[in-house]
Structure 1
Amino acid sequence: MHMIILLLSFLFLSGCDIGSGERVIAGYVGEYGKLVDSRDNKEYSTVVIGDQEWMAENLNYNPEARSYDEKTDDNYSVEGRMYSWEEAREACPEGWHLPTTAEWDELFRYAGEGHSAYESLSRLDGFESFRGTNDFGFSASAAYIVDDYGHLKKDNDRAYYWSFERSSGYGSYVEIGYGKTRSDNRSYSTKAYYHVRCIKGEPSLESSSSKKEDVSSSSAKVSSSSKQSSSSKEQSSSSVESSSSEILSSSSGQIKSSSSAVFVEPSEVKRGSFTDERDGREYRYVQIGNQTWMAENLNYVVDSSFCYNDSLEYCEKYGRLYPWSVAMDSVGLFTTPGNECGNNVICNIETMVRGICPEGWHLPSVAEGEELVVAVDKGAHKGTALMDSVLWDGKISTDPYGFGGRPSGKRLADGTYNWLGVDGSFWLSTESKHRTTYQARIFNYNDEWNGAMGLETDKNRGLAVRCLKD
């Protein structure tokens, strides 16, 4: 008798074909519906989750005249086909539509009440680093995508689906994967191809901005007043933390709120220079509104700092590249707030962090970076107003504020270097709150995310440092 029970349990958890031809998906004990796409007669399972009815598998409709033939290859469409943003908007069958960000958020909230949403929406065998429970029959699974740079790849711990952000009309996408669900990741790239899950009925008229939240691995019911999701590609921040225009008080070193971020005319900028007493190196600075920034990247020599391609000539032109732990001064050479704040810990620092900066200067926070962007771009996040007028490949900038943003490239964790001339990122002291892979927020000038504060990247990469005066 015990053996029979064990056998039945194994079949249930593994998923099996039963006499009716319906497949039992691990964890789900409800009933699936059926959708037949009249365009090609393909049949899909559907599932009701709360007040919504979703496709329980990825869309596999093949539109005519695909612009990228490789994506039609059956080797990559086992989990449904990949679609560009423009294709995704029109891809769903009649009576169904591409979900809005607000509708994805509603799904994530419902699945996250008393559960970990990423687990309860995922197939048991769908991801490499965790086992889903598939409590609601949504059956998310990792699959091939084409990223913003046009590279075909598969992230074995994340699934990517297109979404529609009604308030902007831009392409956006959601992630379901290890440790999180996340919505409103903005995509400006025409090269990206993700998957599509359709939802029944007409699109919700409610803007996702009024309901946004992130459901993490520890989520029960997450209050939208205390947490909001942040967008990212590596991903751009729209969270409460980055939009509150918080400013660090130089007297107490504590973070306090301010709404003083305003546009500053280039003619109002004050320029000067100062000397880093540690090595005698002189740096230019610019005062933009209430902030005084270094007008060039830090070039202070310390262990585990690098010159691009390990060549000193690049340090003189672009500054040095530092892993985040070095930028934060995790070994405590100069100060204590960043002490022992490295790759494998979440630091949760809420005070000003000097890090590797000269005395009287500190690593900027996301909010301080946002204040800079508002000051020079009226909130448009163009970024070009901060770019050096000479060094960028194929970019034209007059550098009206004298900020001298440099395309210093990056050093990857394996010791290789990339993106010199096209990417100008520098470290911020604010950590990501949404990933268990411990990543930090950066400022990035690349093609897709000009002037975006709060992009996430691996802490063990080498990036430039720009310091802000206390």
Structure 2
Amino acid sequence: MKKFFGIFMLTVMSIFIFACSDSSAGFSAGDVCPESGRGTFIDERDGQVYKYTTIGDQIWMAENLKYNAEYSVCYDSLNGFCDTYGRFYSLQKNGDGLAELDENLVASVCPAGWHVPSLAEWDILVNEIGDGYNQKSANRLRNDSISSSYRTGNDECGFSALLGGAYIGKNHIEFYKFDALFWTSTPMSDGMIYSVKIEQDITPFNSLYRMSLRCVKD
């Protein structure tokens, strides 16, 4: 009996030590992304109203951009898709998926006072809500209540990442209900731009033909 009790206590202690070693175990949405830091703003270009959320020292759009920018696409094969998931964008010259960034488009696509986030700004977000590009961070950003193949996203910070996939041409999307893919303003290599992919975890990824866009406040 004493031997069993000793093994039991050792197991309990091991679990406790493991839990305490998790650097994100002390995460508090009330401290990192309080509801008092959330609200709405108007894009004066088209009157569209967007939600926003404050995460750490950053303020992010809490919805995908819907502005009808050059080379953007509204996927209309699913009723109401564009209203929920926003438009799909290219930020490359001439809308060419193998071209370099169109700096004029990058500078103008977001509402006034907002900009396309760099990969470094995504890094700040990810580290603020977790301890890196991992599943816990993804869960805190994903809203799985609308459509998802995972159903584990708790959206603690009100970021509401929706798994809308990416537009690959000819009115066709891929990765719907599996991935959310967002532009960054950071070049990756010739013809490729960094994106951020949110699925079961978060991954820096390469750009695809048309992707969703979240803006961050200047």
Judge same fold: TM > 0.5, yes or no. yes
Aligned match of 2:50? 283
- Which structure 2 residues correspond to residues 45-444 of structure 1 after superposition, within 5 A? 265-268=28-31, 269=33, 270-311=37-78, 313-325=80-92, 343=97, 345-347=99-101, 353-382=106-135, 383-391=138-146, 392-433=148-189, 436=190, 438-444=191-197
List alignment gaps of at least 5 residues for structure 1: 1-262, 331-339
CA distance in 2, matches of 1:290, 1:341: 33
Determine if the alignment matches structure 1 residue 451 to structure 2 residue 183: no
5+ residue gaps, structure 2, are: 1-25
Superposition deviation, residue 429 in structure 1: 0.7
Give the C-alpha shift of residue 312 in structure 1. Answer: 5.7
Are the aligned partners of 2:91 and 2:102 in contact in 1 as well (CA < 8 Å)? no
Distance 1:303 1:347 in 2: 13
Paired residues of 2:144 and 2:150 also in contact (CA < 8 A): no
- Deviation track 1:241-283 (CA, whole Å, cap 9, x = no partner) reads xxxxxxxxxxxxxxxxxxxxxx963103211110000111110
Deviation at 1:308, TM superposition (A): 2.8
Give the partner amino acid of 2:29.
P
- Kept in 2: contact 1:408–1:420 (CA 8 A): yes
* 1:465 counterpart residue number: 213
Instruction: Mark the CA change 1:343 to 1:424 in structure 2 (over 3 Å): closer, same or farther.
Output: closer
Matches of 2:128 and 2:39 in 1, distance apart? 19
Partner of 2:4: none
The CA distance in 2 between the partners of 1:291 and 1:363, in whole Å, is: 13
Letter of the structure 1 residue corresponding to residue 143 of structure 2: D
- 3-state DSSP of counterpart to 2:129: helix
1:371: Cα distance to partner? 0.7
Task: Give the whole-Å Cα distance in 2 for the aligned partners of 1:347 and 1:301.
Answer: 18
> Counterparts of 1:348 and 1:320 in 2: how far apart (Å)?
18
- TM-score (normalizing by structure 1): 0.37
> How has the CA–CA distance of structure 1 residues 321 and 380 changed in structure 2, closer, same or farther, with 3 Å as cutoff?
closer
Question: What letter corresponds to residue 363 of structure 1 in structure 2?
Answer: V
**Is the 1:305–1:320 contact (alpha carbons within 8 Å) kept by the matching residues of 2?**
yes
Q: Which amino acid letter does the alignment assign opposite residue 387 of structure 1?
A: R
Higher relative contact order (CA 8 A, sep 6+): 2
Counterpart Cα distance in 2 of 1:419 and 1:362? 26
d(CA) in 2 for partners of 1:367 and 1:388? 23
- Does the C-alpha gap of structure 1 residues 287 and 307 become closer, same or farther in structure 2, counting only changes over 3 Å? same
CA distance in 1, matches of 2:97, 2:149: 32
Instruction: Tell me the alpha carbon deviations over residues 298-337 of structure 1, each in whole angstroms, 9 at most, x when there is no partner.
Output: 0112343222344561011111111232xxxx5xxxxxxx
| Shift in CA distance, 316/415, structure 1 to aligned 2, threshold 3 Å | closer
Contact residue 264 and residue 288 of structure 1 kept, 8 A: no
Contact 2:65 / 2:86 at 8 angstroms: preserved in 1? yes
How many residue pairs get matched? 185
Letter in 1 for 2:130: D
> Secondary structure of the equivalent of 1:374?
helix
Task: Tell me the distance in 1 between the aligned counterparts of 2:88 and 2:107.
Answer: 17
Q: Aligned partners of 1:341 and 1:309: how far apart in 2?
A: 19
Residues in 1 aligned to 2:89 and 2:164: alpha-carbon distance in whole angstroms: 11
Partner Cα distance (2:74, 2:102) in 1: 29
